[in-house]
Amino acid sequence: MKTLTQHLAQYAAYHRDTRNIFTHFIGIPMIVLAVATLLSRPNWSGVTPALLLTLFSCVFYLRLEIRLGLVMSALLGLNLWFGYAMAALPTAAWLSVGLGLFAVGWIIQFVGHHYEGRKPAFVDDISGLIIGPLFVVVEAGFLLGWRPELKRQMEGAASA
């Protein structure tokens, strides 16, 4: 399994333009909310595909690093709560929210990659789909001055 820095550096190599990174602050949370919403409707005694995906993702993030894994688990828990709330809506409203967030989120992502002049990371490595949300959280932390050593390591490896 790759290390946290290796995953982030590989993802960061596709995200060097600040406009692209900015679009990810909007697009990725929308997509994550959409997935939680759309996968919360099939419900087998409280177990949904959204719950299973959330649990898998939490384990993945916790294996990379406990601190970030706990942050990501809390955020994914909030997404799951939102998804369950949206799944309780009438079908048309549930689909409108889920599909609307998904479509607009991806449009925003592709606008960012237009600025970048490079395809999304997941095209070359499917793990980019699970690293994207982590990248957004880490980049937000960097803006707050959090973990400068991780930022240096990530950017150094991404530039190489």
pLDDT at 124: 66
* Secondary element (H or E) of residue 48: none
Query: Is residue 105 classed as helix, strand or coil in its secondary structure?
Result: helix
Instruction: Calculate mean pLDDT across residues 64-77.
Output: 97
Residue 50: closest CA among 31, 37, 62: 37
Least confident window among 33-42, 50-59, 119-128 = 119-128
Domain holding 141, by residue range, is 4-159
Retrieve residue 74's tokens: 């809390």
pLDDT at 54: 98
Torsion, Cα of 149, 155, 157, 159 (10° steps): -150
Confidence of residue 142 (pLDDT cuts 50, 70, 90): very high
Instruction: Calculate mean pLDDT across residues 3-20.
Output: 86
pLDDT at 82 over 70: yes
- The pTM assigned to this predicted structure is 0.91
pLDDT at 125: 63
Instruction: Calculate mean pLDDT across residues 69-86.
Output: 97
Retrieve residue 58's tokens: 């939490």
pLDDT at 108: 95
Instruction: Calculate mean pLDDT across residues 3-10.
Output: 90
Confidence of residue 103 (pLDDT cuts 50, 70, 90): very high
List for the chain the helix, strand, coil content (%; round to 5).
Answer: 80, 0, 20
pLDDT at 123: 66
Average pLDDT score, the chain:
91
pLDDT at 29 over 80: yes
If one counts the domains in the chain, the total is 1
Q: Which residue has the higher pLDDT, 119 or 96?
A: 96
